[in-house]
Structure 1
Amino acid sequence: MELTKEEYRNFVEILKEELTPAFGCTEPIAIAYCAAKARETLGCLPEKVVIEASGNIIKNVKSVIVPNTGRLKGIPAAAAAGIVAGEASKILEVIAQVSDVQREQIREYLEQACFVVKALESGDKLDVRITVSAKGQEAVVRIARSHANIVRVEKNGEVLLDREGENCEVSGRKADRSGLSIEKIITFAREAEISDVQEILDRQISYNYAIAEEGIKHDWGANVGSVLLRTCGTDVKTRAKAMAAAGSDARMSGCELPVVINSGSGNQGITVSVPVIVYAKELHSSAEELYRALLVSNLIAIHLKNGIGPLSAFCGAVCAGCAAGCGIAWLQGGRLEDVSHTLVNSIAIVSGIVCDGAKPSCAGKIASSVDAGILGYSMFQEGQQFYAEDGIVSQGVENTIRNIYRLGAKGMCETDEEIIRIMTHCD
């Protein structure tokens, strides 16, 4: 297979759009960004803040620490950080620069202003609408469909931006993800000019490995990575799982280091890259070999998530961990057949893991998913595989991926609603 010039450019654009830096768990950061934009539109410090959010946003903000706030949690804390200290122009790095004085101001503002949190009963699974008011003035900002996608801005009833009806388009996106396939991804990974992707991947390697090292060295969350190393040894397989888990533990617990995300998620960005980096170090792979393996892992994760959507009851770590296994297979000489079997085998093992929000246990799910990705390749090396009609496995890797789309986007809708009811104590 050969890629057309248009297909090649599209793959590069996908990577540019998806592999962006973010500071903090992307759901609370989306709220902070929305709130910062609302304050900017209002033109003064709001006296009242009404935050309406979809169930999946509530689920993913409930238990995670908002960075640069002095370990505050929750929707009001994320909004207050954006209002007091946010720079809307920095988008998902909106609260990357917060002074000690501003941290104290965030706490004071939470006590002084009126915050109201409401669940959005209709709309997108990723949906935030913030209304701010002061001195008779009012501003409204809504983000939907992706974490930085502002679809509506109002001030005093005047509509300044309206993109709410553009259901299929996300602001700023130019690349078409519908043409992704494992065969095309492998072709792109083989043929890509490294200069076209090096800057993107260098940033991912630098940022994501740094937070993984921080997670191993210090006390973050449930310390899943450290537990793995102490109890399971230090072989490359264990290190790959441990480092990815450690990066998640640090991120979920408010570590003030940025990461490069994948499919809108920092945890997925860490999971899809760090295990591949660990294996590349162990195998003494060249820089070029690592870049091409990361192209495989990143794009396969994007392919999997594209049909599920950014938020679902289907755990995104599964997509990223299985994709990491494919990148590891590439590093060891695997190509289309090896990668396809690795993906099908690993998906068959861990596709039942559910997402119950962003929190320390994400690290454990990441470790399990990376383990499945590695096992999926080991099975293929040993001549073993899961066959069509084994559960959700179908003949051909793309058919199995379509089954995952159905499971994540449709089959788990009621599961998602029940998880949200459990987490919000709604009987």
Structure 2
Amino acid sequence: MTKEDIKYQAYIQILKEELIPAMGCTEPIALAYAAAKAREVLGCIPERVHIGASGSIIKNVKSVIVPNTNHLKGIPAAATAGIIAGDASKELEVISDVTEAQTKEMAKYLEETEITVEHIDNGCIFDIIVEVFAGKDSAKVRIANYHTNIVRIEKNGKILHYVPVEGASEEGLTDRTLLDVKSIWDFINMADIDDIREVLSRQIEYNSAIADEGLAGNYGANIGTVLLNTYGNDVRTRAKARAAAGSDARMNGCELPVVINSGSGNQGMTCSLPVLEYAKELHTNEDKTYRALALSNLIAIHQKTGIGRLSAYCGAVSAGAAAGAGIAYLCGGGYEEVIHTVVNALAIVSGMVCDGAKASCAAKIAASVDAGILGYNMYLQGQQFYAGDGIITKGIEGTIDNVGRLGKDGMKETNEEIIRIMIND
């Protein structure tokens, strides 16, 4: 691969598109973003709000605390935060700047305003429609397929912006089908670090800060702290604990931003924090650390391309396997070690379900990172899972394809059943 290669330029652009800052769980934040945009188009604070949300959005917003809201949860709370305090120009940091007065106003608005929520199915797993009303005026904003993808804006029935929605197509983003593990490996070994330094340094800074906060504070079930108190302070435990602690904080109202991966802060932290902990333990230089991070992030994105942004398949599994690949590279592993690490990890934890964003995500992250590390150590000791062992097949790409089928098609009904369970709870 050369710098002029189409894949080289694509991989840099994919990292820039995926590794972006977000405050709070990205599904409620996307909802707040849509609501903030709808209020902006309406031109005033709405008197009535109607929200349409696909099942996977309902699932991922139901149980997570929305930051800067004094610990409010749920779809109406996320929309209210965007309406009262949102700055739509900040996209996934839409509610990063909230005053105490606005927080109080949110509580009052929730009590006094009619906010209705409808479970919609327009054929999109990721679908948010926010309609707002004031007097005779109305506005509508729709986001589909990924978190910042506004596909429709209306004011009083007049269409101001429209992008056709075709299935799960992600128009406007770099073609993810250009990703494959061998090319990713070639890229990370020859990349000019200056081309990826800015996006990765921000990931290091933001995600390290929220991991520190998760370990210092009292968030959720404090999985990171439990791991350290139970299993000690070796690098393997710290790698799991820091990723879990970041999730502990993020799922439970911490107002620090994270750099996401594949639309998910949990996945962004799982891809990066274990790799950084191993780099610290091994006294790895900056150059190799950045290459390991690029490897982990791109392998996670590659896996998620087939699965989709939202699924009943827990995204931490993909990110944990990718973190294992980054760790294998840091420990001196070559291409064979990397691909066998990923396959082994996927054989161990694929099938872990996503039942929404909440405190237990931290424990799932810990299990997934553990699988990534175990997958690498298996191969070091001459052990591996082979084609025909369940969903594992010959070749890394074939196994990733199988996981995509499992997550996107095979678990479709599982996702619907999880949503039915959660809605009726």
TM range (shorter): over 0.9
Q: How far 1:152 sits from its partner (Å)? A: 0.4
Contact preservation (8 Å) 1:147, 1:264: yes
Structure 1 partner of 2:6: 6
Partners of 1:166 and 1:154 lie apart in 2 by 19
Q: Secondary structure at the match of 1:121?
A: coil
Q: Secondary structure at the match of 1:49?
A: strand
Partners of 1:405 and 1:352 lie apart in 2 by 11
1:305 is aligned to 2:315: no
Post-superposition Cα deviations, 1:335-361, rounded to whole Å, max 9, x if no partner, equal 211100000000000002000000000
Q: How does 1:130-149 map to 2 (within 5 A)?
A: 130-149=130-149
Structure 2 partner of 1:211: 210
Contact preservation (8 Å) 2:124, 2:167: no
Structure 2 partner of 1:349: 348
Partners of 1:402 and 1:89 lie apart in 2 by 37
Q: How far 1:123 sits from its partner (Å)? A: 2.8
Contact preservation (8 Å) 2:2, 2:8: no
Q: Which AA in structure 2 matches 1:74?
A: G
Contact preservation (8 Å) 1:325, 1:343: yes
Q: Secondary structure at the match of 2:357?
A: coil
Q: How far 1:121 sits from its partner (Å)? A: 2.7
Q: How far 1:5 sits from its partner (Å)? A: 2.1
Q: How far 1:168 sits from its partner (Å)? A: 5.8
Q: Secondary structure at the match of 1:12?
A: helix
Unaligned runs of 5+ residues in structure 2 are none
Q: Which 10-residue stretch deviates more, 117-126 or 234-243?
A: 117-126
1:378 is aligned to 2:407: no
Structure 1 partner of 2:178: 179
Post-superposition Cα deviations, 1:162-219, rounded to whole Å, max 9, x if no partner, equal 113455653542x211011110011000010000000000000000011011101110
Q: How does 1:173-252 map to 2 (within 5 A)?
A: 173=173, 175-252=174-251
Partners of 1:39 and 1:49 lie apart in 2 by 10
1:105 is aligned to 2:91: no
Q: How far 1:227 sits from its partner (Å)? A: 0.3
Structure 1 partner of 2:93: 93
1:31 is aligned to 2:31: yes
Q: How far 1:311 sits from its partner (Å)? A: 0.2
Q: CA separation of 1:379/1:4 partners in 2, compared to 1, >3 Å: closer, same or farther?
A: farther
1:325 is aligned to 2:324: yes
Contact preservation (8 Å) 1:132, 1:140: yes
Q: Secondary structure at the match of 2:318?
A: helix
Q: Which AA in structure 2 matches 1:56?
A: S
Contact preservation (8 Å) 1:3, 1:188: no
Contact preservation (8 Å) 2:144, 2:165: no
Q: Which 10-residue stretch deviates more, 379-388 or 121-130?
A: 121-130
Structure 2 partner of 1:19: 19
Structure 2 partner of 1:404: 403
Partners of 2:178 and 2:12 lie apart in 1 by 13
Q: How far 1:160 sits from its partner (Å)? A: 0.6
Partners of 1:199 and 1:363 lie apart in 2 by 27
1:159 is aligned to 2:172: no
Q: Which AA in structure 2 matches 1:363?
A: A
Structure 2 partner of 1:60: 60
Partners of 1:396 and 1:170 lie apart in 2 by 27
TM-score (norm 2): 0.98
Partners of 1:3 and 1:42 lie apart in 2 by 46
Q: How does 1:249-288 map to 2 (within 5 A)?
A: 249-288=248-287
Partners of 1:400 and 1:2 lie apart in 2 by 27
Partners of 1:197 and 1:255 lie apart in 2 by 28
Q: Which AA in structure 2 matches 1:20?
A: I
Sequence identity, in percent?
A: 61
TM-score (norm 1): 0.98
Structure 2 partner of 1:314: 313
Contact preservation (8 Å) 1:139, 1:156: yes
What root-mean-square deviation, in Å, do the aligned CA atoms of Structure 1 and Structure 2 show? 1.1
Q: Which AA in structure 2 matches 1:66?
A: V
Q: Which AA in structure 2 matches 1:404?
A: V
Post-superposition Cα deviations, 1:236-277, rounded to whole Å, max 9, x if no partner, equal 000000010000010000100000000000000000000000
Contact preservation (8 Å) 1:128, 1:144: yes
Q: Which AA in structure 2 matches 1:376?
A: G
Q: Secondary structure at the match of 1:242?
A: helix
* Count of residues paired in the alignment: 425
Contact preservation (8 Å) 1:2, 1:187: no
Contact preservation (8 Å) 2:328, 2:376: yes
Structure 2 partner of 1:390: 389
Contact preservation (8 Å) 1:186, 1:335: no
Partners of 1:396 and 1:25 lie apart in 2 by 34
Unaligned runs of 5+ residues in structure 1 are none
Contact preservation (8 Å) 1:3, 1:187: no
Post-superposition Cα deviations, 1:361-391, rounded to whole Å, max 9, x if no partner, equal 0000000000000000000100100000000
Partners of 1:337 and 1:15 lie apart in 2 by 24
Structure 2 partner of 1:50: 50
Partners of 2:79 and 2:376 lie apart in 1 by 43
Contact preservation (8 Å) 1:59, 1:358: yes
Q: Which 10-residue stretch deviates more, 293-302 or 2-11?
A: 2-11
Partners of 1:377 and 1:122 lie apart in 2 by 42
Q: Which AA in structure 2 matches 1:231?
A: T
Q: How far 1:25 sits from its partner (Å)? A: 0.3
Runs of 4+ with >6 A deviation? none
Q: How far 1:2 sits from its partner (Å)? A: 6.0
